[in-house]
Homo-oligomer: A and B are copies of this chain.
Amino acid sequence: MRPVKVVLTEKEMPRKWYNIAADLPHPMPPPVKPDGKPIKPQDLAPVFPMNLIEQEVSRKRWIKIPDEVLEKLALWRPSPLCRAHGLEQALGCPVKIYYKNEGLSPAGSHKPNTAIAQAYYNKVFGIKRLCTETGAGQWGSALAMACKLFGLECKVYMVKISFEQKPFRKMMMNTWGAECVASPSPTTNAGRAVLAEHPDSPGSLGIAISEAIEDTVTSKDTRYSLGSVLNHVLLHQTIVGQEALKQFEKLGEYPDVVIGCVGGGSNFAGISFPFIHEKITGKADKEVRCVAVEPEACPTLTRGPFAYDAGDVAMMTPLLPMFTLGHAFVPEPIHAGGLRYHGMAPLVSHVLREKLIEATALKQIECYSAAVLWAHTEGFIPAPETSHAIAAAVNEARRAKEEGREKIILINWSGHGLMDLVGYEKYFAGKLVNLELPEASLQASLKCLDGLPKPPAL
């Protein structure tokens, strides 16, 4: 048989997270308050435990992964590096396609990589309860599991329309003992204010964030937890790329292109930052390209300006230096719910400005088409978010054929689609459409940035 995958033993698990902040050619602009003054670590103390705030602002290159975290990650990690022989054969292009299967975690995606770490650090800081928000439910279910494993309570504010349309994610959270409520809820001032004006509000990530933060700062022994965007979240995901580096070393190969989908940015950062480290420090024997793939319906990196913007609609978060479509932006209802975010992780935004990565935007239907080809040739059914990385890999493969050159492609296969089969059903029924963003709508959305401080030029 042809070799299919490279596995690592748990003894070979990376023992440190990689902090790209240590290696940036230019320093990142700091998060600021609405008056433009930098946020200080203690400003964040009511919302996050100090041990995670220290990670958020750290410039240390390597940060030790605690044994207690490794032991929980080892429930499913290291993830295998698999060769997509079936897809390669179907494409007939001169490429090798590898993927890190992050869909094998109990919650079915890469999200538990940081959920486990965040639950652990909150636990050792003496916190008893975590609050968070979730859109489609991937993050909420990952945090619910992590909290239960470390004996913390967990409350999830789930965007109401998803709460009603995706009852299975809510059932996952309940199974892991979390309390999951529809947002806007009548239990917070933020929720009540929305409900007073719009009793039938379908909710939004922005409202849910406001509710989760309000709950956090008004409750005892409670902190807030975020599933992407922030530096410490991206840090926790770098175990993925480090594993991939070890696996390629065993293979005696090295990728030409590393591909991940981007919503908030943590999945893409997780696989690409360790490769960027090799690139920056001259360790790589190849000039690897790192490609972030977003939906055309939410083209943050490819069409948004770099600006200071809030992470939520209600502007309760600090202003982050990032590519953004404006905090008031409401993306069209594409099925890849995890990619429907107006902003982008500051670290991912920064490495794009530094030209260390590339970004591309794809249409929904070509992503589903690639996802179906994947399921038919590789077995695993991809999540709609993951389908973006697959479609980009297919495009890279076809380009390699046109250019007549060989290529090794690495995909971060961020999660399975078993909880998202309705999108496939609609695709097969011809009911999916490409949801693009008219320029006028983008410009209208960007108006909310007027009057906010501007980040310095690179």
Q: Which residues of A contact B (CB under 8 A)?
A: 1-5, 7-10, 67-68, 70-72, 74-76, 82, 85-86, 104-106, 108, 112, 145, 148-149, 168, 171-172, 174-177, 372, 375-381, 416, 418-419, 421-422, 424-425, 428
B10 & A424 in contact (Cβ 8 Å cutoff): no
A375 & B171 in contact (Cβ 8 Å cutoff): no
Which listed residue, B82, B86, B174, touches A428 by the CB 8 Å rule? B174
Name the CB-closest residue of B to A168: B421
A106 & B380 in contact (Cβ 8 Å cutoff): yes
B175 & A372 in contact (Cβ 8 Å cutoff): yes
Number of copies: 2
Contacts of A422 in B (CB 8 A): 171
B71 & A1 in contact (Cβ 8 Å cutoff): yes
Contacts of A108 in B (CB 8 A): 418
Name the CB-closest residue of B to A105: B379
Contacts of A4 in B (CB 8 A): 10, 71, 74-75
Which listed residue, B175, B372, B428, touches A375 by the CB 8 Å rule? B175
A172 & B75 in contact (Cβ 8 Å cutoff): no
- In the assembly, what is the distance between CA of A108 and CA of B71, in Å? 23
Contacts of A175 in B (CB 8 A): 372, 375, 381, 421, 424, 428
A418 & B421 in contact (Cβ 8 Å cutoff): no
Which listed residue, B171, B377, B428, touches A425 by the CB 8 Å rule? B171
Name the CB-closest residue of B to A112: B379
Contacts of A378 in B (CB 8 A): 75
Which listed residue, B71, B171, B377, B424, touches A171 by the CB 8 Å rule? B424
- In the assembly, what is the distance between CA of A145 and CA of B372, in Å? 12
Q: How far is the CB of A79 from chain B (nearest CB, A)?
A: 11
Contacts of A104 in B (CB 8 A): 104
B418 & A172 in contact (Cβ 8 Å cutoff): yes
Known: A172-B418, A175-B424. 18 other contacts (CB 8 A): A2-B71, A3-B10, A4-B10, A4-B74, A7-B10, A71-B85, A75-B380, A106-B375, A145-B379, A148-B375, A171-B424, A174-B425, A175-B372, A175-B375, A175-B428, A176-B381, A177-B376, A418-B418
Q: How far is the CB of A113 from chain B (nearest CB, A)?
A: 13
12 example contacts (A-B, Cβ-Cβ < 8 A) are as follows A1-B70, A1-B71, A1-B74, A2-B71, A7-B7, A7-B9, A7-B10, A75-B379, A106-B381, A174-B428, A175-B424, A177-B376
Listed from nearest, the 7 A-B pairs whose CB atoms lie closest are: A171-B421, A106-B379, A4-B74, A1-B67, A1-B71, A106-B380, A1-B70
Which listed residue, B68, B149, B418, touches A377 by the CB 8 Å rule? B149
Name the CB-closest residue of B to A67: B1
A176 & B425 in contact (Cβ 8 Å cutoff): no
Q: How far is the CB of A407 from chain B (nearest CB, A)?
A: 22
Q: How far is the CB of A166 from chain B (nearest CB, A)?
A: 11
